[in-house]
């Protein structure tokens, strides 16, 4: 029996995107592109494409538990990415499983709305996410609208407000927060990383592309992949920012669907091929 993996392993606990651009599919592509073996625990099935979400079928919480126990009991998990968590029962199952298996390097992307604007979470689940998953996660990665909803306030309008909201989310139990500035304006796309030692600014040129489906999933799973490979949180955030920027820069070389297409997860390897 092989008990030691020669490559780092990460698991994504998230919803499935039938069009392949976000969710579980984006996470596994990101893991693979960054040299990490990916496992998965599916929390929900979605019927969606580049134009929107037409249906959601939630996986029963006891089966989420069964998937987690199967994966964690056999694989040496180096990092965890959590994405779509629609219901309180699912959040409880995930939290209990992570505690039971002493999970490490947990990155939680509090997905609430799809890129198309379709809601992905029940209102009743929001408070449970904060109570159960924030204290377990090593990092949460809300975008500007998600941070505002979690804090029940207006959306941050500048970097100082982003940092303030990051600290407010830490006051709610989060160990570290990456506020993503993709919904902002200006020549740079700026993310603010807030942790116990202070704040860090991560910036990249703001790219003009309509292919932005799955950007949040891709960034959070890239952070998890880097953590699984042994990078520090600050370094992992920088690695993920650079990877997503390159995937966005190459996104227009893809022609997928008739709506908001995906980023190019395999921009480096496909170009070489």
Model confidence band, residue 254 (pLDDT cutoffs 50, 70, 90):
very high
Q: How many domains does the chain have?
A: 1
199 is catalytic: no
Average pLDDT over residues 56-80: 97
List 29, 81, 130, 180, catalytic entry: 180
Model confidence over 186-201: pLDDT tens digits? 789 899 999 999 999 9
**Residue 92 resides in a domain:** yes
User: Is the per-residue pLDDT at 122 higher than 80?
Assistant: no
Which residues on neighbouring strands pair with residue 79, listed in sequence order? 10
- Nearest Cα neighbor of 251 from 84, 26, 46, 54 is 26
For residue 214, indicate whether it is catalytic. yes
* Angstrom distance (rounded) from CA 243 to CA 250: 11
- Whether 224 is in a domain gets the answer yes
Is 154 one of the annotated active-site residues of the chain? Answer: no
Contact in structure between 133 and 165 (CB atoms under 8 Å) = no
pLDDT digits (tens, 9 = 90+) for 127-137: 999 999 999 99
Span 13-29, average pLDDT: 97
Average pLDDT, the chain: 93
119 versus 90: the higher-pLDDT residue is 90
Return the CATH number at 221: 3.40.1190.20
Q: Nearest-CA neighbor of 140 among 183, 109, 168?
A: 109
Domain membership of residue 91 (yes or no) is yes
Catalytic position from the list 215, 218, 229, 261:
215
Annotated catalytic residue 181: no
Q: Is residue 3 part of a domain?
A: no
Instruction: For residues 198 and 192, give the distance between their C-alpha atoms in angstroms, rounded to a whole number.
Output: 10
In a domain, 52, yes or no: yes
* Residue-number span of the structural domain to which 246 is assigned: 9-268
- Read off the pTM: 0.94
**What is the DSSP-derived secondary structure letter of residue 263?**
P
Q: Let me know if residue 150 belongs to a domain.
A: yes
| Annotation says 217 is catalytic | yes
Q: Is the pLDDT of residue 5 over 60?
A: no
* Within-domain flag for 273: no
pLDDT tens for 140-165 read 999 999 999 999 999 999 999 999 99
Question: Is residue 226 in a domain?
Answer: yes
pLDDT tens column, 170-191: 999 999 999 999 776 778 989 9
């Amino acid at each position: 029996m092989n008990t030691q993996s020669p490559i780092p392993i990460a698991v994504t606990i998230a919803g499935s995107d039938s069009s392949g651009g976000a969710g579980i599919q984006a996470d596994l592509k990101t893991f693979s592109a960054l040299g990490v073996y990916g496992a998965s625990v599916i929390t929900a099935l979605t019927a969606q494409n580049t134009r929107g979400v037409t249906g959601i079928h939630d996986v029963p919480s006891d089966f989420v538990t069964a998937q987690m126990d199967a994966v964690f009991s056999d694989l040496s998990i180096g990092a965890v990415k959590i994405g779509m968590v629609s219901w309180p029962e699912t959040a409880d199952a995930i939290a209990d499983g992570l505690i039971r298996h002493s999970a490490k390097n947990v990155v939680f992307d509090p997905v609430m709305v799809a890129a198309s604007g379709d809601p992905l979470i029940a209102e009743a689940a929001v408070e449970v996410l904060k109570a159960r998953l924030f204290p377990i996660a090593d990092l949460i990665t809300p975008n500007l609208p998600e941070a505002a909803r979690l804090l029940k306030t207006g959306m941050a309008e500048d970097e100082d407000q982003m940092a303030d909201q990051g600290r407010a989310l830490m006051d709610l139990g989060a160990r570290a927060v990456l506020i993503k500035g993709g919904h902002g304006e200006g020549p740079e796309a700026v993310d603010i990383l807030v942790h116990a030692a202070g704040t860090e600014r991560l910036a990249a040129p703001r790219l003009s592309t309509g292919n932005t489906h799955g950007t949040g999933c891709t960034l959070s799973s890239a952070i998890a992949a880097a953590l699984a490979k042994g990078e520090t949180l600050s370094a992992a955030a920088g690695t993920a920012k650079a990877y997503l920027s390159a995937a966005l820069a190459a996104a227009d070389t893809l022609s997928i669907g008739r709506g908001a297409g995906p980023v190019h997860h395999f921009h480096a390897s496909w170009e070489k091929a």
